[in-house]
Amino acid sequence: MERCACIADTVVVSSVWCIRWIYRCVHGLIEMVAEALYWLTMATQRAPLVKDFNYFITCYLCRGYLIKPTTVTECLHTFCKSCIIQHFEDSNDCPKCGIQVHETNPLEMLRLDNTLEEIIFKLVPGLRDKEEQQEIDFWRKNKSKENGQGDGLGSKRLGLSDDEDGDEDGQDYHRSDPQIAICLDCLHNNGHAADDTVKCLMKKFIRCSSRVTVGTIKKFLSLKLKLSSSCELDVLCNGEIMGKDHTLEFIYMTRWRLHGDNTYPMVLEYRPRIDFG
């Protein structure tokens, strides 16, 4: 009986060992198969294509790649700069979600997204060169149509000028940029006490880069007129308040030149900011 019990115990131990051995073999086989499937999937998976990102880098209005991406700060939707500015000439609502961007001047709520622009240029091969070439071709075609003003806006655009003016130390301080002449006139608002602090410039005609923004013009006026930091200005063209990110070139093309009776140089008016609140 003792011998039978010993044999039975040996059989049980052997069976347990066999079961464990089989389990380890099966478990190891499963791990090998899983690892093989993982590497097979990684090997066969395709690299992402540019079209996979089209939803994020194309303009809702023109359906092309975003050129000078400009974001509406109210809803964070992004469009081509030219597309959204043209849209806001007829509407104050975001073209994508329909939210009212601003009651009177939606252009104030636009911000350029330079980071997104660099990402798009890196994603889409040749897009940067293509856009720059199209811009050069545009200015070459239109520089002779500015009624003698081509030298101020078109002829020097993107290095089209034959002569490059510069300082002796190699810094041109934007003198190689397209230049534009403007007249800064003081616009007084009757009945506002702030008029006493804002005077007319002694020299109101200036010549500067056409890429200067309205924000820079405001800083220039504050410095020349010795205004306090609490005194804010509005800059107007043809009676319309200009956004701080508008360049002089943009204002000339979209606001000043469209009026046939306007002459050169372009006139910008400034006044103390009026609080409508």
One-letter amino acid for residue 183 of the chain: C
Report the alpha-carbon distance of residue 182 to residue 205 in Å, rounded.
Answer: 6
Report the alpha-carbon distance of residue 100 to residue 93 in Å, rounded.
Answer: 4
The tens digit of pLDDT for each residue in 45-87 reads: 666 777 788 888 899 999 999 999 999 988 999 999 999 999 9
Max CA distance (Å), the chain: 126
Q: Is the pTM of this model over 0.85?
A: no
More confident residue, 228 or 39: 228
Say if residue 147's pLDDT is above 80: no
More confident residue, 257 or 223: 223
Report the alpha-carbon distance of residue 160 to residue 138 in Å, rounded.
Answer: 11
The tens digit of pLDDT for each residue in 89-143 reads: 888 999 999 999 888 778 888 888 888 888 888 888 888 888 888 888 888 887 6
Strands 69-72 and 110-112: antiparallel
State the chain's mean pLDDT as an integer.
77
Three-state DSSP class for 61?
coil
Q: Which of 246, 233, 248 is nearest to 88 (CA)?
A: 246
What percentage of residues in the chain have a pLDDT greater than 90? 18
Residue recorded with tokens 């959204």: 84
CB contact at 8 A, 110 and 70: yes
Three-state DSSP class for 236?
strand
